[in-house]
Amino acid sequence: MTKHKHWTHLSVATLVVLCVACGEKEPAKSARQPTPLDLSTTGTISGQVHFEGQVPEQTILQLSGWSECAAQHPEGNPRAGDVLVNDGKLQNAVVYVKEGLGDRVFAVPTEAITIDQKGCVFSPRIATLRVGQPFRFLNSDPMAHNVRGLTKVARAWNFSLGVKGTTRTITVDKPEVMIELKCDIHPWMRAYTGTFDHPYFAMSGADGQFTLKDLPPGEYTIEAWHERFGTRSQKVSLGAKETKDIVFTFGAG
């Protein structure tokens, strides 16, 4: 074999090896297994979200320049629902464990959380879900909308829903509280979503009540978020099988 043929033979062999290596896929990363939870020791943190002082007016959504949207609200421009207070109790505050769960891993629900675009308004205005949980957007209007997620940590998204009945489902890849959602076509359309890597979150009801169940014993920072009034947080020490009642108080000042 000549020297030229020898190097040709080696080159071909080398290319074959390299191509085989190129075709090999990197082993898939296995999902982290959920941390076992001893339900015989878990406890509960519950309470209320209060509002003190003069209650601000809700934001009025200015639809009058958009006839196709205004036509769906014959009673006039709708209220945003961004301030809901009943007898000193604040609704739609998102309450969640901010710190204290360590490196625990929790199973992710498979059912989708849905936000609709109906009457040129996001519904619901506030949504909560888990990292990796299906997040479904629906357009129930006869005109086009889009959905843009103004993320700071998670992967951003921006897509159109151009025909009535169109849906699109995504997942949020990282925890983030809270992500603002917008429709760039109709500038008053806003919503908010909190995405968590654990199941310990709740939204205060019309009575201001919230409950975080099945929490392992530990030291926690619990935070409450509201779109108009910011955040409040407090430390809570929870013992085995213990129930703790806490109160968050917001005000207009």
Predicted local distance difference test score (pLDDT) of residue 31: 62
Predicted local distance difference test score (pLDDT) of residue 29: 43
**pLDDT digits (tens), the chain, 253 positions:** 444 444 334 333 333 333 333 333 333 444 678 999 999 999 999 999 999 999 999 999 999 789 999 999 999 999 999 999 999 999 999 999 999 999 999 999 999 999 999 999 999 999 999 999 999 999 999 999 999 999 999 999 999 999 999 999 999 999 999 999 999 999 999 999 999 999 999 999 999 999 999 999 999 999 999 999 999 999 999 999 999 999 999 997 6
Predicted local distance difference test score (pLDDT) of residue 140: 97
pLDDT of 133-143, one tens digit each? 999 999 999 99
**Rounded CA gap, 101 and 215, in Å?**
9
Strand partners, 179: 193
% of the chain at pLDDT higher than 70: 87
Instruction: Find how far residue 80's CA is from the centre of its chain.
Output: 19
pTM (predicted TM-score): 0.86
Asked if 224 contacts 95 with a C-beta cutoff of 8 angstroms, the reply is: yes
Domains (ranges, CATH) in the chain? 37-104+199-253 (2.60.40.1120), 107-197 (2.60.40.420)
CB under 8 Å to 173, separation ≥6 — which residues? Answer: 131, 132, 154, 155
**CA 164 vs CA 55, 103, 119, 148, 158: distances in Å:** 37, 43, 12, 18, 18
Predicted local distance difference test score (pLDDT) of residue 243: 97
Sign of CA dihedral 219, 250, 91, 117: negative
Q: Which among 95, 159, 154 is positioned nearest to 126, based on CA atoms?
A: 95
